[in-house]
Structure 1
Amino acid sequence: MSQSVSIAAPRLKKPSWKDPRLLIGVLMVLGSISGVIALVGSADRTTQVYSAREDIAVGQVVTDSDLSIVKVRLDDVEPSYVTVEHGLAVGKVALQRVAKNQLVPQESLGSPDALDRKPVAVTLEEELPAQAIPGARVDVWIAMPGSSSAFEEPQLLLPSAEIAGMTTGSTTLGSAKTTVVMVLVADEQMPKLLGAQANKAKVSVVWNPAGSVR
């Protein structure tokens, strides 16, 4: 007579909160969630700041219409730029040129009486090299009229002056092209240039590739 033998399967125990393996698993899950939250939070830590919609010239009154709003991550250098949160003060002018799409530095804006360089128009009949664009540096030379029809030897009047802007046109009869270069001139140099122009001096502008940035 055969005898059947039954083997009792081990009964699964209900996990207990005191089980260290369960506690370790819970801590690992919480740690993973916290890491994801911290990562997402750091990736979204951006600031709304102003950038130049077009080139902003020195002396130009800056308004909201001249600016665009961009979101960037600045971290420690945030106080150096004009943010949307702090807004744009009314009546501020550009103390230094801000190129198109460039973020607007705080130091680039100020009151009109803080301007120590002002644009002066110099009309040229000769062409300038393609590198002579707003923001580039040029040397301004003058040659005073002599006793005869000839001019005196040219002298360097403004070394490494910055170009604020340029326009092209033609003479009254349309026979020759002219270029009007707006050169930024410091207050102490202003009388020399204006005096030379008033005395019909020959004014020449030469691109200075090695000009130092002011």
Structure 2
Amino acid sequence: MAMDGQNQAPRLAKPSWKDPRLLIGILLVLASVAAVVALVEGASRTVPMYAAKDALTVGQKVSAADFTIVQVQLGAVDGKYLAPADALAENAVAIRMVPKGELVSRSSIGAADALNRKPASFTIDEPLPQDIVVGSRVDVWVSLPDERNGFDPPQLMLPGVEVAALNVATGSLGAGRNTQLLVLVTDSQMPNFLGAVANRAKVSVVWNPGAGS
């Protein structure tokens, strides 16, 4: 018995390459793949940048010989750091301390007239805490000589200054040690501090990790 043609199930039509829905689907897949590829390539892209070969201290004259070239992934902060393609001025100096091995930011290199702090030297006899290194922040206390061959109570003369350099020396026959420090001092602080050092004031240094943060 023949079945009524109206009761037959409809046959699915074969997809055609001319079907706009198929073309749109293919374009969406291709766009998604391209976006993923671009994202992966961008994330893995490295660029050459300058890093400090040794620690750069404030006021130090710098040239390309003071840097090493490293390949890094910087992304959005690319323009904030110094690259081998950047030209350095002949009188370029470090206006901020850059630790050894760290990337050199553009803002850390400038001209000598951009310096707002200058190194001042003094010597202390007492041992320094191990935490005090180049780049540390310290409070410098000064005790001025009194009229009885003693010293006045200490006063905080240089709060939160940065250590630019330090050198520990041992006395003859190993008797006694002293440390020579260079700290970065503003022009307004310099006269009083140099006067105290010239008058053989007793200088003490206290580590101040919270300064400059």
Q: Name the CA distance, whole Å, in 1 between partners of 2:23 and 2:151.
A: 94
2:197 is equivalent to residue 204 of structure 1: no
Q: Name the CA distance, whole Å, in 2 between partners of 1:36 and 1:154.
A: 64
Q: Which moved more, 1:180-189 or 1:83-92?
A: 83-92
Question: What residue identity is the alignment partner of 2:163?
Answer: I
1:96-175 map, 5 Å: 96-171=96-171, 174-175=174-175
- Structure 1 counterpart of 2:194: 194
Q: Name the CA distance, whole Å, in 1 between partners of 2:188 and 2:157.
A: 12
Gaps of 5+ in 2: 1-15
Quote the offset at 1:34 in angstroms: 4.1
Gaps of 5+ in 1: 1-15
Q: Structure 1's 199 and 40: CA in aligned 2 closer, same or farther, altered over 3 A?
A: same
Work out the percentage of aligned pairs sharing the same amino acid: 47
2:61 is equivalent to residue 61 of structure 1: yes
Quote the offset at 1:18 in angstroms: 5.7
Q: TM-score normalized by structure 1?
A: 0.80
Q: Name the CA distance, whole Å, in 1 between partners of 2:100 and 2:63.
A: 15
Q: Structure 1's 41 and 191: CA in aligned 2 closer, same or farther, altered over 3 A?
A: same
Question: What residue identity is the alignment partner of 2:197?
Answer: Q
Equivalent residue of 1:147, what SS? coil
Question: What residue identity is the alignment partner of 1:66?
Answer: D
Q: Structure 1's 126 and 28: CA in aligned 2 closer, same or farther, altered over 3 A?
A: same
Q: Which moved more, 1:123-132 or 1:164-173?
A: 164-173
- After superposition, what is the alpha-carbon deviation per residue over 1:77-125, rounded to whole angstroms, capped at 9, x for unaligned? 2222112222333321111111112111111111111111111111111
Q: Name the CA distance, whole Å, in 2 between partners of 1:20 and 1:108.
A: 58
Q: TM-score normalized by structure 2?
A: 0.80
Equivalent residue of 1:188, what SS? coil
Question: What residue identity is the alignment partner of 2:63?
Answer: T
Aligned residue pairs, count: 199
Give every structure 1 segment of 4 or more consecutive aligned residues whose post-TM-superposition deviation is greater than 6 Å: 19-26
Structural RMSD (CA): 2.6
On the 8 A contact 1:82/1:88 being kept in 2, the answer is no
